Amino acid sequence: MSRRNRWIWVLIFMVIIIPALRIEAKQDPYAAKKKRMSDKVRRMFYHAYDSYMMYAFPHDELKPLTKTFTDSLSELGNLRLEHLPQEYNGSALTLIESLSSLAILGNHTEFEKAVLWLSENLTFDVDARINLFECNIRVLGGLVSAHILATDSTNRLGKGMYKNELLLLAEELGKRFLPAFDTPTGLPYAWINLKHGVMDNEITETSTSGCGSLILEMGALSHLTGDPRFESAALRALRKLWSMRSSLNLLGTTLDVETGEWIEYSSGIGAGVDSFYEYLLKAHILFGREEYWRMFQSAYLAVQKYFRHGPWYHEADMRTGRATFWQLTSLQAFWPGLQVLVGDIAAANSSHREFFHVWQKFGVLPERYLLDHQMLHPTEKYYPLRPELAESTFYLYQATKDPWYLEVGESIVDSLNLHTRVEGGFASIRDVTTMELEDHQHSFFLAETCKYLYLLFDDSFLVNQNYIFTTEGHPLPILSSWHERLPVAYIPSNWTSVKSEYQPKRASAMSLRMCPANCGNELLQSACHIPDFRVDHRCLTDEDCGIDSTSCRRRSCSMAGFCGLWLSI
């Protein structure tokens, strides 16, 4: 096995994915707590799921206060079920989103019933305008993941009962996506009609996430079907998007798919951009392509340099790096989880604690909080049962085994039960200052929020398994057969300096591709941190100085002979 492949598996087993549990002589002191909390989360999931099945199925999502339904995919596309009346517009979205959660909970009977029902009823041959990004992560991702789970040794359905129907549905949906990529730039339209393709006078504006977060689902579909068109289309779009970055390696938030010009130059790590960063790293893990790593490494260091302010991340202009908006958005809470995957544990813990502090302040995490004014955004005070804080808590506990994260998870569970549980399911919060409820139970509550909370307390599903989770929480297995082969002689150039007898430890944790906690006696404080050559920080030239752990800026040698951030003073 080459060096290049070895680091992937080391990171997978040690940090990224939960390693096989070892039987230890000493009993886990938190076993009883984990069992109690996993049972509580299980009850939460089934309260939400059973309420959906009773009051909303086979429509898209549940309205828990009135015990009715909403066909939320009317915004994404009305995916009719062929055996239902013509006027019906539901797609059983919540059922599709719940498939992998049912498998993780070990409910093989309900998983089998759901798979067979969808196999017999779901069709995409409809005159419907759908949002490509949302339909990709929710429907295509849900189907691909469920197909893999339906055919593995743990969840395999009864002999002869399942004949790859979900994969066939996913392939059909993928083919209906392809016309969206037929643009001068290769960047896909945000909206497409499943029957007629791109409509006349279709809007040409899309987001960075919308055209840069398709590679996991479409890449997996290509590997499963042998049809390279899906992965090729998503990769072409990703490459074009990356070519549009600024000289600072920053991207904007929205762009025009026909001209390839940016519309909104300000961006951060939240809405409109978040999953772009996530998919660069996860695509590298899933497919092993070095190109994804190079993109992610450059993008991550740029984020740390221009967006990070202590534990917070503000927004900045991609052209200048100057701060534009100082605000916390709930979607940013995914970032610590991503930092765990790259091994930046200290930075992840720092940001996660601040997000949890805001959660404790309001009881849940508001959609937007103005950091510069220390106040809620006047119109975005809601909490729609988002999963991002639970997701990051799960990853940090797996990386550190610090029981404090179990306490965080328990607090999240208690808050959800206290503030959002109603007789008909779980309701979103319209205003976090009054806890006024909104009549909507989003499908991602079952696909992600409950899933990550359950895995925090019971990770048995992941024993002897290696998965990554898509941005919608659907697990995809890490398979060597999906990995790009590299020459045995491949050695990254930045490893050469690490082995230098005269310049020890002259590389960052990121360039070494290892968790900072494994860097010997000296703990690297972040993935970009490079220590000064001398422990007393004395220097003769700038080459004796490293890279600052907080700002990711290069330190320089002063006239007095000490390393520091002198050029920024």
What letter represents residue 537's amino acid? H
Q: What is the DSSP string of 109-166?
A: HHHHHHHHHHHHHB---S--EEEHHHHIIIIIHHHHHHHHHHHSTTTPPSTTT--SHH
C-alpha torsion 488→491→492→495, nearest 10: 150
Active site residue 134: yes
Residues 6 or more apart in contact with residue 123 via CB below 8 angstroms: 79, 80, 81, 82
> Does the annotation count 532 as an active-site position?
no
**Token pair in block for residue 406:** 């179990």
Told to judge if 75 belongs to the known catalytic residues of this protein, a careful annotator would answer no
List 60, 61, 71, 134, catalytic entry? 134
Q: Taking the alpha carbons of 150, 156, 157, 160 in that order, is the dihedral positive or negative?
A: positive
Residues 6+ apart with CB under 8 A from 445: 48, 385, 387, 426
Tokens 């990004």 identify what position? 133
Phi then psi dihedrals of residue 512, to 5 deg: -80, -15
Kind and range of the H or E run holding 61:
strand 61-63
Query: Distance between CA 235 and CA 214 in Å, rounded?
Result: 8
Please identify which of the residues 344, 388, 458, 472 carries the catalytic annotation. 388
Residues 6+ apart with CB under 8 A from 138: 76, 93, 96, 97, 443, 444, 447, 472
Residue pair 384/428 in contact (Cβ under 8 Å)? The answer is yes
Question: Which of 367, 438, 458, 459 is labelled catalytic?
Answer: 367
Catalytic annotation on 61?
Answer: no
- Which residues are known catalytic residues? 134, 274, 367, 388
